[in-house]
Amino acid sequence: MISTRRQFIKISTVGLGGAAVAASSLKLAHGTGLFGSDDDEQINDLKNKRFPTYCEVCFWKCAGWTHTNDKGEIQKILGNEKDPHCYGRLCPRGTGGLGMYQDEDRLKTPLIREEKGGKQVFREATWEEALDLIAKKFKKIKADNGAESIALLKHGTPGKHFEHLFEAFGSETVGEPAYAQCRGPREAGFAATFGSWIGSPEPTDIRDTKCLVLIGSHIGENMHNSQVQEMAQAIDNGASIITVDPRLSTAASKSKFWLPIKPATDIALLLSWMNVLIYDNLLDLDYIKDNTYGFEQLKEHVRNFTPEWAYNITNIKPGMIRKTAREMANAAPAVIIHPGRHVAWYGDDTQRERAMAILNGLLGSWGKRGGFYLKEGFKVPKYPHPKYPHPKWTWRDLAKDYPLAGMGLTQEVIRASIPEESGEHKVKAWLVVGTNIKKSIPHQELVNKAIEALDFLVVVDTMPMDIVGYADVVLPECTYLERYDGIRSATNREPSIALRMPAVPPKYNSKPGWWIAKQIGERMGLGEYFNYEDFSEVIDWQLQQIGSSLEEMQAIGVKNLPRKSGSLYFAEGEKVNLPTNSGKIELYSTELAAKGFDPMPLYTPHAEPEEGFYRLIYGRAPMHTFSRTANNPHLTDLKDKNTLWMNPKVAKLWGFETGEEVYLKNQDGVVTSFPISIRVTERIRWDAVYMIHGFGHTNKKLTRAYGKGACDTEMITNVKVDPIMGGTGMRENFVTFIKDSGKETKA
Amino acid sequence: MRYGMAIDTLKCVGCGDCVVACQTENNVPFGYCRDWITETIDGTYPKVELEFRSERCNHCENSPCVRCCPTGASHIVEGGIVVVTADKCIGCSACIESCPYDARYTHPLGHVDKCTFCHHVRDYKQTTACSAVCPTSCIYFGDLDNPKSEVSMVLKNRKFKDLAPEAGTKPQIFYLI
């Protein structure tokens, strides 16, 4: 292995095997003509086949069918009608999921970094060679520094296989951007109030709600499938939607009330809503007496947080605050103040989520029809394996400054990898699977320092994402359409399980994640943890334990199981019994108080943009997931780059027009790698600009995505860390516009 | 029998799923589409209105594309569906010029292509790929002549508009507003 540090390798340096497969075959023939059909006979007639899967384009994991034609080629993917995540209708990403399979830019064969004539290059390697090298390096690092010094950074289904591998060799040093960079604060905030995490999918009873309140949550732009479907049903049913957002989001445009709030002031609005609900006597006090803890303290706490007070902070008129509070109260308990999903914004996010949870508590929507249903999951029995060894330290030790951290904090794993930043516990190597941490983690300077300092970096992915260019060994995973993975079991109204099986063999020289983990494990002397030839044996064993079988699931794809935990909602008058310290809904959090945090949320002002700067807000487009889909040929057809939304007043001030390209420079002087086109639109406030996350790819091997649009993550250098659970608030970054980047664009 | 669509702009989120589902169902080559999303914005911040529309061939009763086709490739089949017979099409593009909705494109193989209301599945399914996939169920497809069909019912009960009425083409796609 070379010792000099890691230049980013643009993979192309050494020829990759296999010419690109000819682009789409321009066939005249029609498809199978069986969308949405559960009729097997017709499929057999047409010599087409279908194979159950669940989607890996995002975390919603909708179950569907991969259809192949008479030549055994994948034709299309359709939703499974029995699946409560999608009800037979996949979203654009799921429908376009075959683009992940078709993409000719995929990673095709293992690569090993080496030095050639003073230059670092990747050379193609056999699996044997790559896996041997990884096992050798991991064993050495384990011997020198302990297994704990090897960290797993993961996302999605393949992460599970590697989690098993890591626990088998004695490391629980793990981080997942899905927590601290995303939904962590809401889990902490709702757990402090109701005793349990929200989880995924959110148990929001949107289809039966009378009032849906969205605090910056952009359902419809985030394509969380069944939730979008239920929002459409709620619209059909005449439910009122209240959207709080500085931007006219899609949801805002469908709302009865859009509150165009000044960014970063949500907590003030939430507190003033509490004030109105309490002091205008809009609440069911009997319910509150029986089911909540700390009402009197809360009442005193919000006494001065009047709508007039909030108006000065939020720019929302007092009359509108009162009107919307009444709208919620009239709908109660069939009202949802939605927890949102990506909520790591300002560093006081757990407290904002607490405020949202408290409103739900006051309005009595927990465990009520049209509010939050009582979710139920299903525990799939674990395939037997020897006991895992006990690591001397884990992610918990790295997160010890954040008492309510419920999962590994990616940024702390990264910090522990930098010698001068790390404490007692040091990380020496990473295995990164299914997450492009060059786009998902803010403060990239730290990420770069960590990468620089690592002894060894393995990346497992299907695509040459930015992070791949920094790896010592790259392992090409096959796509979800070409592999078995663990059974999907998620919490829903009813427990439900779904199977993923390959519809076609892996393309190129790619391999399933389970196989890769097993191969590394066996080479590290951990074969007994991988006691199977094929992962389908594990699935079959698990299914047999619960009275099903692989054969049955191959035929049906999804199995919905009866509830065992009782009713979906609390009965009328039934008192809640929650896993909080008081057993009640904690308006006053005993847990936060005990840990030295504010037991009830407070509004604290956040930094504002200086003259000539604008707050950077980012979000989702319905046809893309993170930075993962930017090269998918179906989805780039729909949107191939992001644009910078700018209010016409701002555009006039700067003399910009739609389509003009600018570089962004943030408050710390960091400039984007690529320019971004301006979109002048009335849909955004004048003190903020907005862009879709996940563009501006720096790896040239992504031929459709390279250099298209700009990367918001590059601009997020000021990170406001949530002291309660370690979330990385990303919205206190401000940008200005420059026409010339003043340097060669990084490429 | 007269096939048509009602598309609910109050529910459509403009996600583009209809576009991808059409591509994969009908083998529409990358870079081309038979249906697409239009976004219109009215007003000044914060009094702004936004509308998404999933658009495609309107299968006009009075269809200029059929009238101007020199070879008869563009024609109307049962149910009022406007289709193009690829073998007969000489790719002259007269129909593309004549369409007020810009609903046609020249396929890389040389012929003109467009939405067929997924005519090829009619024996199996009274639906289209776009309608079957739509996560918000905002696309109602069916027989406008049948007063009991879902599409007739929503048009009876809801306000709607059609596009480019000034063109006099009698489109068969209606937008619920």
Domain regions of chain B by residue span: 3-176
CATH number at residue A700: 2.40.40.20
**What phi and psi values does residue A684 have, to the nearest 5 degrees?**
-135, 145
Q: Judge: B124–A236 Cβ closer than 8 Å, yes or no.
A: no
Chain centroid, CA A298 distance in Å: 33
* Nearest Cα residue to A466 out of A668, A616, A674, A615: A674
**Nearest to residue A699, comparing CAs of A10, A219, A226?**
A10
Same domain, A637 and A669: yes
> What's the CA gap between A448 and A436, in Å, rounded?
13
- CA-wise closest residue to A630 among A3, A28, A258, A96: A96
How many angstroms separate the CA atoms of A418 and A398, rounded? 13
Does the distance separating the beta carbons of A34 and B107 come in below 8 Å?
no
Task: Map tokens 């918001």 to a residue.
Answer: A712
Q: Do A708 and A587 sit in the same domain of this protein?
A: no
Q: Strand pairing of A150-154 and A429-433?
A: parallel
d(Cα A357, Cα A373) in Å, to the nearest integer? Answer: 14
Q: What is the pLDDT of residue A9?
A: 66
Which ipTM score applies to this complex?
Answer: 0.96
Task: Identify whether A352 is part of a domain.
Answer: yes
Query: Is there a single domain that holds both residue A585 and residue A631?
Result: no
- Tally DSSP H helices, then E strands, for chain B: 5, 10
Contact list in B for residue A236 (CB cut-off 8 A) is 11
Helix (H, G, I), strand (E, B) or coil at A184: helix
Closest among B11, B156, B7, B17 to A237, alpha carbons compared: B11
Residues A579 and A643 in one domain: no
Could you tell me if A200 and A231 lie in one domain?
yes
Q: How far is CA A325 from CA A209, A244, A281, A671, in A?
A: 16, 13, 11, 42
The nearest alpha carbon in chain A to B28 belongs to A26
Q: Is the pLDDT of residue A44 over 60?
A: no
Binary contact (B24, A634; C-beta < 8 A):
yes
Residue A724's nearest CA partner among A139, A65, A180 is: A180
Residue A377 main-chain phi, psi, to 5 deg: -115, -175
For A547-593, the pLDDT digits (tens) are 999 999 999 999 999 999 999 999 999 999 999 999 999 999 999 99
Distance CA A187, CA A406 (A): 8
Last residue of a domain, one of A536, A566, A594: A594
Q: Comparing A23-27, A132-136, A189-193, which segment has the lowest mean pLDDT?
A: A23-27
Write out residues 54-113 of A within 8 Å (CB-CB) of B.
75-79, 86, 88-92, 95-96, 98
A452, containing H or E segment: helix A444-453
Q: Is residue A387 part of a domain?
A: no
Please identify, among A559, A594, A629, the residue that sits at the C-terminal boundary of a domain: A594
Testing the interface with A: which of B39, B107, B133, B153 to mutate, by most A Cβ within 10 A? B133
Q: What 8-state DSSP symbol labels residue B114?
A: -
Residues A243 and A307 in one domain: yes
Instruction: Report the chain B residue with the minimal C-alpha distance to residue A219.
Output: B13
**Residues A240 and A326 reside in one and the same domain:** yes
Q: Look at residue A496 and give its three-state secondary structure.
A: strand
| Position B161 pLDDT exceeds 50 | yes
Backbone angles phi, psi at A57, to 5 degrees: -75, -30
User: What's the mean pLDDT when you consider all of chain B?
Assistant: 96
A534 found inside a domain: no
Q: What DSSP string runs through A155-182?
A: -STHHHHHHHHHHHHT-B-EE-HHIIII
Say whether pLDDT at A746 is over 50: no
Query: Does A23 contact B21 at a Cβ distance shorter than 8 Å?
Result: no
Question: How confident is the model over A602-621, as pLDDT tens digits?
Answer: 999 999 999 999 999 999 99
Q: How many domains does chain A have?
A: 2
Residues of chain A with C-beta less than 8 angstroms from the C-beta of B109 = 26, 28
CATH of B3-176, one of 3.90.470.10, 3.50.50.60, 3.40.109.10, 3.30.70.20: 3.30.70.20
The dihedrals phi and psi of A338, each to the nearest 5 degrees, come to -70, 130
Of B50, B108, B136, the CB nearest to A228: B136
In the predicted model, is pLDDT for residue A28 greater than 80? no
**Average pLDDT, integer, range A439-460:** 96
d(CA A362, CA A304): 18
Flag whether A304 is in a domain: yes
Domain region containing A645: 614-738
Amino acid at A259: L
- At A553, the amino acid letter reads M
A581 lies in the same domain as A618: no
Quote the minimal CA–CA distance from B127 to chain A in Å: 9
Q: How many CA atoms lie within 13 A of A376 on its CB side?
A: 14
Same domain, residue pair A688 and A581: no
**Residues A621, A582 share a domain:** no
Residue A337 lies in a domain: yes
Residues 6+ apart with CB under 8 A from A616: A664, A666, A688, A689, A690, A691, A712, A715, A716, A731, A733, A734, A735
State the count of interchain CB pairs (< 8 A) between A and B: 164
A389-423 pLDDT, tens per residue? Answer: 999 999 999 999 999 999 999 999 999 999 999 89
C-alpha to C-alpha distance for A662 and A141, rounded to whole angstroms: 45
**B 59-88: CB under 8 A from A:** 86
Interface of A with B in 251-270 (CB under 8 A): 253-254, 258, 260
- Portion 125-164 of B in contact with A at CB < 8 A: 125, 127, 129, 132-138
Q: What is the CATH number of the domain that holds A343?
A: 3.40.228.10
Residue A632: both structure tokens together: 């998918």
